Chains A and B, each alone.
Chain A
C-alpha cells in the first residue's frame, strides 16, 4: 500500500537554529501537506504542495514528485515551534496518508 516514511522521529533544536525534516514516499504521490500538531492536539496545516517549493516565514517546504520526497525546513527556531510535525501525502486516488511524525523540541 501507500507508505510514507518520515525522518527523523525526534529532533531537538536550540532557539535560533534550524534543521530539515524529510518524507519519502514508496509510490508516486500527487501532492503533499505538512502539519504541526500542537500541545492541545490540534493539527494545523502548514503547506499544501503539488510541486515545487513554498515558503512561509521561517518555514520552507519542497515537494519533488519525480524523486518521491518532500522536505520541511525550519530556520531560526522559536520555542513555540515545538510540537509534532507530520507530512501527509495524497495518492492519485485522493487518499491522504500520514507519516509517523517528527517530535520537535526547541530548547532555550
Chain B
C-alpha cells in the first residue's frame, strides 16, 4: 500500500498559466478530499468526492478552480490563469466511507 500519491511534489508556474495537480487515492477508498494549506489561512477545505461523484465543492473558488474524478484511481485539481495568491500546498486525502483521512505528501504550488 503506497498511500495517497500526489504529483508533482513541486510545481512552479508563471502568473496566468494553468496548473494541474494529480492525486491517486488509496486503492479501495471511496472518498477523496482536496485541501489547501497556507500559513495565513491554515488548512482550507476545497472539495470532496464520494464514489467519484462531487459531493461538496463549497470551498472551491468559483472562478479558475475545478476538480474532477474521472475514475476510482485518480482525481485532478485544475487551476486556470494562476495567480500569486494561489501559491500554497495542495493536499489530497482519501478515506474508506469518509472516515479516517489519509493524506498524501502534497503538491507545493508556487506562482511567480
Chain A residues engaging chain B, CB cutoff 8 angstroms: 1, 31, 33, 35, 40-43, 45, 48, 86, 88, 90, 93-101
Cβ contacts under 8 Å, A95 to chain B: 45, 48, 55-56, 58
Nearest CB on B from A23, distance (A) = 13
Chain B residues engaging chain A, CB cutoff 8 angstroms: 31, 33, 35, 42-45, 48, 50, 55-56, 58, 89, 91, 93, 98-103, 105-106
Contact between chains at A101 and B101 (CB < 8 Å):
no
Q: Is the interface of A mostly helix, strand, loop or mixed?
A: strand
Contact between chains at B99 and A101 (CB < 8 Å):
no
Candidates B33, B42, B50, B105; contact of A96 at CB < 8 Å: B33
Say whether, besides A90-B98, A93-B56, A95-B56, A43 and B103 are in contact (CB < 8 Å).
yes
Cβ contacts under 8 Å, B91 to chain A: 43
Contact between chains at B55 and A94 (CB < 8 Å):
yes
Name the CB-closest residue of A to B48: A95
Candidates A33, A45, A94; contact of B48 at CB < 8 Å: A94
Cβ contacts under 8 Å, B98 to chain A: 90, 94, 96
Contact between chains at A98 and B42 (CB < 8 Å):
yes
Contact between chains at B45 and A45 (CB < 8 Å):
no
Name the CB-closest residue of A to B3: A42
